[in-house]
Structure 1
């Protein structure tokens, strides 16, 4: 049995026909007939066998038809073939199978993956308790070390790509899982102009469901790093990455050669340490690359690498022109990384989970990953009682 818990429909433009419209069918006990289904307008030719043979709850990632890049599948297959001795291997979402469907909008690659709970951004709402930060940060660093040890970069590391496992899910019946998720909420799909739907459009969408917080934030949580859509092998790095600007490494901004150390920047910057501790990232998310680099230089005591200085000069000129049109408020404070960590942490009116001494140690650890020059970033991080050594 491999029931699908929920589907999420994206809002897309009227002329975008790359997304799948799928009618899901569940095999009954004898596996030869489908259970009762509503009328279908298209036969997508879904082979349920790859999903069925996992004998567990799974997640199915259906990619858009125009996406011809097989990099994600290549990386996931390479990871599946590796031994699982490394402690970080259990913190990377595993590929269980894959198949292709032929729908009204074209061919879609489907990845059958381990099912996980909500991401930590949704689960935590703001900053996490200190005890959970230490556990989660250690597991994330272990997962990244597993990737780096095999010369693989995730490439899109942020809090929404780190999920929490629901430990007892496999032991639950389908009815129990549905009960924990709550009543399924659906809504009709309509056109803004009031016209009829096209044949390749779904007629309904299902609101994403989530598990109660008590299910997903136990004393000893287990995390899974998901979405390897921008992952790459170190010997075949892309020209750029399209990750959130708040976690974008400087080598991405400056168009430099990429390697697995882009994950180190994201690890200290947003997904791993700073935002877990404070509830917000060290760099503003609502800004442009030029102002992002400016903030990096304010908070980080490094000299900008020589090879980037010519581009930075152009960026400064663009910033000056922009500010001449829209002058900034005067008196804005400039913080070092340590000062900003203290400021963000004390902003929350809660019982402190970290002492000042612990925050100082964290700032030092974060600073060792947030080095402008990628080759100077730390290759060994201490998390809790365990040392996590990064692959060279």
Structure 2
């Protein structure tokens, strides 16, 4: 999550994130905070963090104009997740804008340690990995004490948006999509080269960099260009005064981005964010059962080998699903809230038979397939198309409508890459370096990525 919305979110990833387009009269559901021995109920506000998490161990109450750490002036809100709120702030010491992430008091400071490692200074003689610039650089980290506890915080360079919110039901121009796919893969390559598995690759966690001219704006100029922060008073259902553990107003997240179809090649500057699930397999065991990647992007070994350690191949599976979404309109597996077994059935539909030992252990199999592998009568209508047909339905059909169709030679190379990244057995998947060396990456994605870098300078 730096930046725009760099964290895990509690809504369906098939839906766009809320922006400032809310009508008055949207207070319908309830949020709550435990105070003493009773629960305080709040009127629900659409598009903001869960208000019930303003309690001991939860969010830190922040208002526009606050100064944190005697340095960071709160300018606007960029987003929130289950474990943090994220703010655009002005660093009053260096006079530049930074993203400030404020974690819940009960969260573990794992992400800060990972970003410190990825951002560590290099010896003058050391070669710089080309993907280093595609992950957030940790600028500062500190703690803030508040009514809900002690909160770890860090700052990074801000970004304008995440790919999910700008591409939902939209298409990137093909040259832009190729460049974004290559840049994301390069970011993963850098992460792996430093000994880390990202652990949560999907488009909510892929951001787009802001232009460097952003820092030229004063706060007044920023508000003139993007509008004043939009706030909504927080109220209790019983009409009583708010406790000190919650702010007086909720802030609707600011949208700094542009939508996918409006992107030019110079905008294709991705940033892989949210390292809260990252781990170093050489020194830390992360079992499959502890994988928190959303099911649509989660490697199948997490389900079928729950007691086995995850490794770099789990990122490759998730990376393939992200690349597919960047190139097309429809995700390769359902991003709706569906049972996990239904995602497994879709994987078989698209990719073919899974390993026989997994097939035998799959308890939910009978709801979707007969013993001979044929779909059950009840599932037949919902069966997903095989890979090549899925490409036609989820990618090519939509590109054809806008006159941006993928040619047959590129399609062949692309599907070959996706199939090898989505091998069921993790040991049979490509490594990230092999992905970068693949025909599609070298022949189609890399040239556009190079052009994006030239246009951005």
Q: TM-score, normalised by structure 2?
A: 0.71
Distance in 2 between residues matched to 1:331 and 1:214, nearest whole Å: 33
Aligned equivalent of 1:113: 156
**Contact 2:423 2:429 (8 Å CA) reproduced:** yes
1:22 paired to 2:62: yes
Give the secondary structure class of the aligned counterpart of 1:152: coil
Aligned equivalent of 1:58: 98
- CA deviation vs aligned residue, 1:149-207 (integer Å, no higher than 9, x gap): 11211111111111111212133333333333223211101123443322211110121
Tell me: CA distance 1:140–1:19, structure 2 relative to 1, closer, same or farther (3 Å): same
**Contact 1:123 1:217 (8 Å CA) reproduced:** no
Larger strand proportion of the pair: 2
Distance in 2 between residues matched to 1:225 and 1:15, nearest whole Å: 28
- CA deviation vs aligned residue, 1:343-362 (integer Å, no higher than 9, x gap): 11244332234223322321
Shift of 1:318: 6.4
- CA deviation vs aligned residue, 1:276-335 (integer Å, no higher than 9, x gap): 1112210012322212112112211354263x34431x23246689xxxx9836544542
Distance in 1 between residues matched to 2:53 and 2:295, nearest whole Å: 28
Aligned mate of 2:419, from 364, 367, 392:
367
Shift of 1:218: 3.4
Give the secondary structure class of the aligned counterpart of 1:233: coil
Shift of 1:143: 0.3
Map 1:39-188 to 2 at 5 A.
Answer: 51-67=91-107, 69-81=108-120, 83=122, 85-125=128-168, 126-167=170-211, 168-188=213-233
Tell me: CA distance 1:210–1:316, structure 2 relative to 1, closer, same or farther (3 Å): same
Tell me: CA distance 1:246–1:329, structure 2 relative to 1, closer, same or farther (3 Å): closer
Tell me: CA distance 1:330–1:78, structure 2 relative to 1, closer, same or farther (3 Å): closer
**Contact 2:141 2:152 (8 Å CA) reproduced:** yes
Shift of 1:92: 0.5
Shift of 1:260: 1.9
Distance in 2 between residues matched to 1:82 and 1:291, nearest whole Å: 45
**Contact 2:345 2:368 (8 Å CA) reproduced:** no
Distance in 2 between residues matched to 1:337 and 1:82, nearest whole Å: 43
Tell me: CA distance 1:146–1:15, structure 2 relative to 1, closer, same or farther (3 Å): closer
Shift of 1:249: 0.8
* Structure 1, gaps ≥5 residues long: 36-49
Q: TM-score, normalised by structure 1?
A: 0.81
Question: How many aligned residue pairs are there?
Answer: 358
Aligned equivalent of 2:301: 251
* Structure 2, gaps ≥5 residues long: 5-18, 21-46, 75-89, 371-375, 450-457
Map 1:224-303 to 2 at 5 A.
Answer: 224-235=271-282, 236-239=284-287, 240-254=290-304, 255=306, 256-269=308-321, 271=322, 273-286=323-336, 287-301=338-352, 303=354
Tell me: CA distance 1:334–1:106, structure 2 relative to 1, closer, same or farther (3 Å): closer
Tell me: CA distance 1:71–1:356, structure 2 relative to 1, closer, same or farther (3 Å): same
Give the secondary structure class of the aligned counterpart of 2:160: coil
Give the secondary structure class of the aligned counterpart of 2:349: helix
**Contact 1:98 1:112 (8 Å CA) reproduced:** yes
Aligned equivalent of 1:10: 49
Give the secondary structure class of the aligned counterpart of 1:328: helix
Tell me: CA distance 1:233–1:252, structure 2 relative to 1, closer, same or farther (3 Å): same
**Contact 1:75 1:233 (8 Å CA) reproduced:** no
Tell me: CA distance 1:145–1:134, structure 2 relative to 1, closer, same or farther (3 Å): same
**Contact 1:100 1:110 (8 Å CA) reproduced:** yes
1:206 paired to 2:247: no
Shift of 1:70: 2.6
Give the secondary structure class of the aligned counterpart of 2:342: helix
Give the secondary structure class of the aligned counterpart of 1:372: coil
1:218 paired to 2:276: no
**Contact 1:51 1:112 (8 Å CA) reproduced:** no
Aligned equivalent of 2:13: none
- CA deviation vs aligned residue, 1:17-70 (integer Å, no higher than 9, x gap): 41111345359xxx89x99xxxxxxxxxxxxxx954454210111110111x23
Tell me: CA distance 1:72–1:15, structure 2 relative to 1, closer, same or farther (3 Å): closer
